[in-house]
Homo-oligomer: A and B are copies of this chain.
Amino acid sequence: MLNFSFQNSTQIHFGERQIATIANEIPADAKVLVTYGGGSIKSNGVYDQVAKALENHQWSEFSGIEPNPSYHTLMRAVEQIKAEGLDYILAVGGGSVIDGSKFIAAAACYQGDDPWDIIAKQHPVDTALPLGAVLTLPATGSETNPAAVVTRDGTKLPFYALAVRPKFAVLDPSVTLSLSPRQVSNGVVDAFVHVMEQYLTYPVNAKIQDRFAEGILLTLIEEGPKALAEESSKDLEVRANIMWAATMALNGLIGAGVPQDWASHMLGHELTAAYGVDHARSLSITLPAVMKIRREAKADKLLQYAERIWGISEGDKQQRIDQAIAATEAFFRSMQVPVRLSDIELGASDVEVLLTKLEQHQMVALGEDKKITLEVSREILNAAL
């Protein structure tokens, strides 16, 4: 195990009817901006529950935070905060709304000239408005972590700041029952790949981290298809397990003390930025290809993954690795997401476009060992054709 520092201070309220707890979590004298996305919270009852919980608070709202939230949209929320003198943000939505709200929280307190420097120049964020979250789409883990991804003019970039970690997060699995099958499958696949980025590297004998990562993967494999199947798609227990799995997948715990990869994400971000591919559907294409091209460097963990996740014990090492990759792809297909660039009608010429973007963004030394050069990225993307 590697040395590490770990803290996750977010207060979690999990279960049905927990949205009411925000009344006590947000200070009585706070002036709240409720941020959300396209308005689905108005049709599924979440907006009404939030409004009820905030009936004794002063609050305004900002809607229209889009998937892969855009800098320009978010800056309009910052203007509203300044104009109205607001001092607390309640993000109601999935990872994009929460990520976007983290940037709003930081930008509202930013003292420099251009808040984009928080991302572009990784300017440190010492202060931010306090942020709470009501999660409606389990996927990114953003509800308890200090990370966010923001898009500006076709460039999708992350930032990290302890100051933007949500103070509290409400996880009510019943609100996920109204998600579309596509949103459900995207969430399960996103969480799955988050685990793999922290798990499928090289062994450092971190037994707890490995077992926890495997526990999340097994749960997603068991529950994910149930959430899509007609007969169990309204099973609240299934939704609860998926919701808690997605939070644990990226709250810092399984990644503490182990090497991390994130190449599938960096490649996937380019797919999303260039072609508008859903985040999870970019990852379901890039991860299997990364597994194939990086099979030597990842061999020990691939074999452990094969055995503990898929029960694969027959065949020589290469055969077991092949089976494990095939099982991963089969799981993704069962979750109704693409596993090849050709599945989304992209081809060899698009690989060149993606490589150009990677070079522009200086993504030239990816992976747990920084050995994924542009040339290796080309191999990976070709393997994904």
Chain A interface (Cβ < 8 Å from any Cβ of B): 1-18, 21, 205-208, 210-212, 214-216, 218-219, 222-223, 237, 240-241, 244-245, 248, 256-257
Residue of B nearest to A249 (CB): B208
What B residues does A21 contact at CB under 8 A? 5
- Asked, given contacts A11-B7, A12-B6, whether A245 binds B214 with beta carbons under 8 Å apart, the answer is no
What B residues does A5 contact at CB under 8 A? 11-14, 21
Q: 3 tightest A-B contacts by CB?
A: A211-B215, A3-B15, A9-B9
A9 contacts which of B7, B215, B216, B248 (Cβ < 8 Å)?
Answer: B7
Are A219 and B215 in contact, CB atoms less than 8 angstroms apart?
Answer: no
Are B205 and A241 in contact, CB atoms less than 8 angstroms apart?
Answer: yes
Are B237 and A205 in contact, CB atoms less than 8 angstroms apart?
Answer: yes
What B residues does A1 contact at CB under 8 A? 14-15, 237, 240-241, 244
Determine how close the nearest CB of chain B comes to the CB of A104; give it in whole angstroms.
24
Are B208 and A215 in contact, CB atoms less than 8 angstroms apart?
Answer: yes
22 contacts between A and B (CB under 8 A): A1-B15, A1-B240, A1-B244, A3-B14, A3-B17, A4-B15, A5-B12, A5-B21, A6-B11, A6-B14, A7-B10, A12-B256, A15-B257, A206-B244, A207-B215, A208-B215, A208-B216, A208-B245, A208-B248, A210-B215, A211-B212, A211-B219
Are A208 and B214 in contact, CB atoms less than 8 angstroms apart?
Answer: no
Determine how close the nearest CB of chain B comes to the CB of A209; give it in whole angstroms.
8
What B residues does A245 contact at CB under 8 A? 207-208
Which among A6, A15, A206, A248 has the greatest number of chain B C-beta atoms within 10 A?
A6
